Amino acid sequence: MQVILADYLGFCYGVKRAIKIARENASPDGDANTLGPIIHNPQMVERLKSEGVGTVDHVEDMEQGTIIVRSHGVGPEIYEHAEKRGLRLVDATCPHVRKAQLSAKELHDDGYRVVIVGEKEHPEVQSIYEWSGREA
């Protein structure tokens, strides 16, 4: 079997966009954090940390500041929870993931049974599931 490597290896558009958004919202005070690692790349997460963008696991881990939704997206409850806590929320969800989230919500709201094909524990799949009313 012949293996052909791509001429270019790197991050997809959604990840590049999320990193750009995170950098634009960096804070030397430690008040800017992504909710979970922004991408599955420990080196980039460390680099962003050195640039003023940390990582928290839960909205409750922040008392103030900016919480950045990672490229994988989150469910609607996170937006509500951040607002109740008075946090500034910046959405860096990949546009393709966001489209799937909104489609799942719309179909669910219209009475359709949503079927999601993917790894159940993967963050993108979880966020789409949450937008489907947790009934997919």
The answer to whether residue 7 is domain-embedded is no
Number of compact structural domains in the chain: 1
pLDDT at 37: 93
Residue 29 has φ and ψ, to the nearest 5°, of -80, -5
Q: Which domain, by its residues, includes 51? A: 13-131
Q: How many residues does the chain have?
A: 136
Mean pLDDT over 66-78 rounds to: 95
The answer to whether residue 3 is domain-embedded is no
The answer to whether residue 136 is domain-embedded is no
The answer to whether residue 93 is domain-embedded is yes
Q: What is the pTM of this model?
A: 0.87
Q: Which residues of 16-53 are buried (b: 16+ CB within 10 A; e: fewer)?
A: ebbbebbeebbeeeebbbbbbbbbeeeebbeebeeebb
The answer to whether residue 90 is domain-embedded is yes
The answer to whether residue 37 is domain-embedded is yes
Residue 29 pLDDT more than 90?
A: no
The answer to whether residue 29 is domain-embedded is yes
Please list the active-site residues: 124
CATH value at residue 66: 3.40.50.11270
Distance CA 55, CA 61 (A): 10
Mean pLDDT over 25-29 rounds to: 91
The answer to whether residue 95 is domain-embedded is yes
